[in-house]
Amino acid sequence: MSKQNLLFSKLKLRSLHLKNRIVVSPMCQYMAVEGHIQDWHIAHHSRFALGGMALSFVEATGITPEGRITHGCTGIWHDNHVLGLEKIVKLYHAQNIAVGIQIGHAGRRASCVRLSDGGQPISKTDTDEPSWEIIGPSAIAEKKGYPVPRCMSHEEIIEVVEAFKAAAKRALDAGFDTIEIHGAHGYLIHSFFSPLSNHRNDQYGGNLRRRMTFPLMITEAVREIWPENKPLFFRVSAVDNISGGISIEDTVELAKELKLHGVDIIDCSSGGMSGPSTLSREKIKRGFQVPYSEKIKKESGVNTMAVGLIIEAEQAETILKSNQADLIALAREMISDSNWAYHAAHKLGHENPYEILPPSYAFHLQSRSENMNVD
């Protein structure tokens, strides 16, 4: 018997029609060369393009060379990056899947080795992949023993805002359906919003309202370029989980302002101000960030995307039915099972799970099921 479920219901965001509520979250691959897409990225995204989800994001992509986390991060600071990104867009569009790109600047968390090599700052003695100067709202290191960022001048802040704007234009040229501004995980935008890393006493720092200035300037600049009919996402670290840091109430206020500046979805992550990009590894449990998504959605009036150890189809369905989020984002679970959407459709009693997949795949699997009575 078929069941009605929200996970496979449609959602309209401006003129973008999503066929279900399943999203592939941005996942850094650290495989780019000078910011350029490589064969690895095509292979990586090909898995998801055949998986039947509604929307997939390209990884955190640097708006400037210095804005990358590592030497292996993708870039969108030059027009010649567009061609590689366009290949990924066409890959998804051929399978009727929307595609977005996450753009950002790593700030004081830039100039690091790849996460698989430890993720620590690049040594100044490394000549193969040399370090570069890092910047931030204040001259405060991420943690003891880490490099101290140079405090940005007003002119440099404007330059970064303009770089985000230029990146949005290139994303539009590449054909992306949406952009996500990366305002989380201790990177530059987050570091301006958090009182832990922003000790400025000018218009960019101090009270909550002034610490919102930089994130809102970037959002406004991107929205100026990004067409009115295309949705805009913004990833937040909903809490710092460190004494004196961002609270969920602070983020609710930011979300209200982001909505006024043209943001359609708040992607609700957490942490990263000092250490891991999510809360303490010791405390993580399934769906640990869902309460942030729920509170932001209910108190700001902005649609939200839940992310973070969402594993099971039933779990995802419950989140949607409980009105805790509008979209479900998966990352590592998609690496584990790129056909997660198809398997979820079976588990939730979808009337025709095979329609989730491309026709050639659907034919073979349905034939097997009919002939052998298995899925």
Catalytic sites, residue numbers: 187
Do strands 303-307 and 265-269 pair parallel, antiparallel, or not at all (unpaired)?
parallel
Do residues 10 and 19 touch, judged by C-beta distance below 8 A? Answer: yes
Which CA distances in Å does 326 have to 4, 10, 225, 265?
16, 10, 25, 9
Q: Provide the token pair at 14.
A: 């401006």
Please give the backbone phi and psi of residue 237, each rounded to the nearest 5 degrees, phi first.
-95, 105
Closest CA to 244 of 218, 281, 283, 211: 211
**Tokens 């600047």, residue?**
105
Sign of the torsion formed by the C-alpha atoms of 23, 29, 33 and 38: negative
Q: Provide the token pair at 274.
A: 């000092």
**Rounded distance between C-alpha atoms, residue 315 and residue 312, angstroms:** 5
